[in-house]
Amino acid sequence: MSERSEQRLDVRKTYKLYIGGAFPRSESGRSYEIRGADGTFLANAALASRKDVRDAVRAARGAVGKWSGATAYNRGQVLYRVAEMLEGRRAQFVAEVAATDGNGAEKQVDAAIDRLVWYAGWTDKIAQIAGATNPVAGPYFNFSLPEPSGVIGIVAPQDSALLGLISVLAPVLAGGNTAVVIAAENRPLPAITLAEVLATSDLPGGVVNLLTGRTAELTPWLAGHADVNGLDLTGAPEDTAADLEKSAADTVKRLLRRRTSEDWTADPGTRRLLAFQETKTVWHPVGV
C-alpha cells in the first residue's frame, strides 16, 4: 500500500472585537473576510453591530476616570511601553502591513513605532503649550489648564493600516482621553494585532476599544451617541461625512473633519494633540 501525502491546511483565524480589555465576539455573530492587496484570503474579522458600538462606548466611559486621572508622566510611560511591544513584534506587523498595504511596509511600521514614542514624550508637555497664567484686574490668580474631553470616537484612515491608525489614536491617548476606534474596513489586520499588543501592555482595559466591520454601518451610531464627547472623522466615507457632522453637532461633540488626503509620514505637529482638549479656567485669590 503506497503512502499518500497530504498537504497541510493553514489555520485561518477568525478575529474578535476588542472591548473593555477583552476580546468578545460580535453581538451580531457575523464575520467578513480580510483579503490582502493581491486578493489573497488572510483571515476573518468580526462584523460589529450597533450594540457593539454601545458596549464599546460604555467601556470607554468607564475607563475615563482612571486614565485621565493618571499622571501625564505615567501615561507617557504606558505609551512608550506600547511602542516597545510593537517593536518586539515588528516582523509580524511588517508582514501584515505588507499583505494589506503592499510596498513600504518596513518604513510604515518603523514610522508607527517612532510616532508612538514621539507622542509618549508629549504627555507631560501638553499643559505647557495649552495652559496659561492670565492677567486679571484684581487680587486673583487666573490659570487656564487643558483637560481631556472624555470619550473620543475615531474612524481610522482607510489608506494606512498602521501608521495612519497610530497617528490618530496616539494623540487622543496622550491627552488623557479614551477611544472607540472603527478600524479600516478593508485593512483591519494590523489594527487587530495592535489590539493584542494593547491588551498585554500596561494600558488599562477600556481605554482603547476597537471595532471591525462596515465603516458606513457603524459610524452613524458612533456619531450620534450622546456619551461620546469627540469625533475624528478622518476615515469616514466621503458621501456620509456631512451627515455625520450634523449628527455630531446634535450632541455638541468636538469634531475633527474628514480630509480627502493626508501625508501620514509628515510631521504631525500638535493639531491632533490639542483637538480633544478642553480648557478649564481656575480663579484663586492672592494670599496675604
* Domain with 174 in it: 31-261+269-285
Which pLDDT value is given to residue 2? 47
Q: Within a domain: residue 17? A: no
Residue 72 lies in a domain: yes
* Cβ neighbours of residue 184 closer than 8 Å, sequence gap 6 or more: 156, 157, 158, 159, 160, 161, 164, 165, 191, 215, 235
> Using one digit for the tens of pLDDT, what is the confidence trace for 129-139?
999 888 888 88
Question: CA 53 to CA 131: how far, in whole Å?
Answer: 34
pLDDT in the model for residue 1: 45
Give me 212's grid cell: 471591525
What pTM value is reported for the model? 0.92
Q: For residue 102, is it within any domain?
A: yes
Q: Could you give the CA distance from residue 283 to residue 265 in angstroms, rounded to a whole number?
A: 42
Residues of the chain falling short of pLDDT 70:
1-5, 260, 288
Residue 231: inside a domain, yes or no?
Answer: yes
pLDDT at 74: 97
- The domain total for the chain is 1
